[in-house]
């Protein structure tokens, strides 16, 4: 038979040829498997839990930035660096190093001033000079801007729009600037949910030391560090490839999660037609908010932040001085408490995150000077508002 042994018991010539061919195919297959194993990631990231935005402000600086970049890379993380313009001009190689490492770069003003205390032209200079410095260092201008101290108002936002910048605040404050320990920074980062952003800084050893544990926590929750979308201002999958996860979602349960930030304007009562107003344009903590004829001046212009705050003058928050019915509504220096966070609901009510109660015109009043309080939500027009933002 053609492929049986010949009379001497040796394999036939056909069998030899077939065996050699099979050996060659097997060898080639093993080579392909070996090459694929060598080039594929050892542990492909599972981002099914979503993406978060890690952000670092105030760099670059020669004493810390490279260490921060290298630690992020070693732990498989990407982040957004909000750079101060004068630092970017002084250390352009560090800005390039951020981009070369796969990080994103945003604008954090030229000199880190209190922008809400400046004129429009001064704000324009702060932002534009930083745009130019970063573009000179990297070849492209930022699309994201974080105001120093998180302070913003309609003047700042107007300049941002002119320059094509998206304002980015934060959902979680690491408190590294306030002396937080590595463990406290890690704990803060563990609260991040899909689409949310954490504030950190590019100058603290504790912040760098927290990175391995932040990375481990994200992996344990099937989450990844993503980019911040210039369109939505939320953390999303990088647009240069990588695993894709569900889009960030905004939880709908009232009284637990604040409304995402964006925009500013007057808040007008549906029943009264009058606006939320800080009497006599006071900036003092504890000043009780009232209804007053709308005039659009700064004491009636309210802006929302990504953490759910409602701010006036950039640095004062709408604040509930309690969590029960009748708790007065006042302005107070923003400090991040849940009594300063709000949800704007689709029915026009504004609910306190801490209390679950609604922003309410006392006594269903509609006149000038009517004060505001928290009260159980009942759907009345004295609890409904339109926010022109």
Whether 57 is catalytic is yes
Furthest-apart CA pair in the chain: how many Å?
116
3, 6, 46, 57: which one is catalytic? 57
Residue 293 appears among annotated catalytic residues: no
DSSP string, 137-187: HHSS--SEE--GGG---HHHHHHHHHTTPEE---SEE--GGGT--HHHHHH
Tokens of 30: 């093993």
Token pair in block for residue 352? 């306190």
Q: What is the DSSP letter of 309?
A: B
Tokens 């032209």, located at residue: 121
Angle subtended at Cα 95 by Cα 161 and Cα 116, rounded to the nearest 5 degrees: 35
Give the CA count within 13 Å in the CB-facing half-sphere of 62: 5
Residues 6+ apart with CB under 8 A from 300: 266, 275, 276, 277, 278, 292, 294, 312
Dihedrals φ, ψ of 260, to 5°? -60, 150
β-strand 302-304 against 104-107: which pairing, if any? unpaired
The residue annotated as part of the active site, out of 100, 176, 201, 285, is: 201
Helix residue ranges, H only, the chain: 13-39, 65-74, 85-90, 92-100, 120-138, 154-162, 182-189, 205-209, 211-220
Which residues are catalytically annotated? 57, 201
């Amino acid at each position: 038979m053609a492929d049986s042994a010949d009379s001497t018991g040796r394999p036939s010539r056909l069998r030899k040829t077939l065996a050699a061919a099979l050996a060659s195919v097997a060898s080639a297959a093993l080579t392909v498997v070996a090459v694929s194993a060598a080039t594929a990631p050892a542990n492909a990231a599972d981002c099914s839990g979503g993406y978060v935005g890690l952000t670092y402000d105030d760099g670059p600086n020669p004493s810390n930035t490279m260490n921060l970049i290298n630690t992020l890379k070693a732990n498989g993380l990407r982040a957004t660096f909000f750079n101060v313009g004068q630092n970017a001009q002084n250390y352009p190689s560090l800005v390039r190093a951020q981009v070369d490492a796969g990080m994103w770069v945003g604008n954090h003003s030229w000199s880190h001033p209190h922008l809400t205390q400046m004129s429009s032209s001064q704000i324009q200079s702060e932002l534009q000079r930083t745009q130019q410095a970063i573009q000179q260092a990297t070849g492209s201008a930022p699309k994201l801007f974080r105001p120093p101290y998180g302070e913003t108002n309609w003047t700042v936002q107007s300049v941002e729009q002119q320059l094509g910048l998206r304002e980015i605040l934060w959902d979680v404050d690491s408190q590294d600037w306030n002396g937080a320990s590595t463990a406290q920074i890690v704990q803060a980062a563990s609260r991040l949910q899909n689409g949310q952003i954490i504030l950190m800084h590019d100058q603290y050893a504790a912040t760098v030391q927290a990175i391995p544990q932040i990375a481990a926590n994200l992996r344990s929750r099937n989450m990844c560090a993503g980019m911040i979308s210039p369109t939505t201002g939320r953390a999303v999958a990088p647009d240069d490839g990588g695993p894709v996860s569900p889009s960030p979602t905004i939880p709908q349960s009232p009284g637990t999660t604040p409304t995402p930030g964006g925009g500013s304007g007057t808040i007008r009562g549906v029943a009264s037609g009058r606006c939320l107003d800080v009497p006599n344009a006071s900036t003092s903590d504890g000043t009780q908010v009232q209804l007053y004829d709308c005039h659009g001046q700064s004491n009636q212009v309210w802006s929302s932040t990504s953490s759910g705050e409602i701010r006036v003058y950039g640095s004062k928050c709408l604040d509930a001085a309690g969590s029960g019915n009748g708790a007065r509504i006042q302005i107070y220096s923003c400090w991040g408490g849940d009594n300063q966070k709000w949800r704007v609901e689709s029915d026009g009510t504004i609910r306190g995150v801490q209390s679950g109660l609604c922003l309410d015109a006392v006594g269903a009043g509609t006149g000038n000077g009517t004060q505001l309080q928290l009260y159980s939500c009942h759907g009345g027009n004295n609890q409904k508002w339109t926010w022109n933002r």
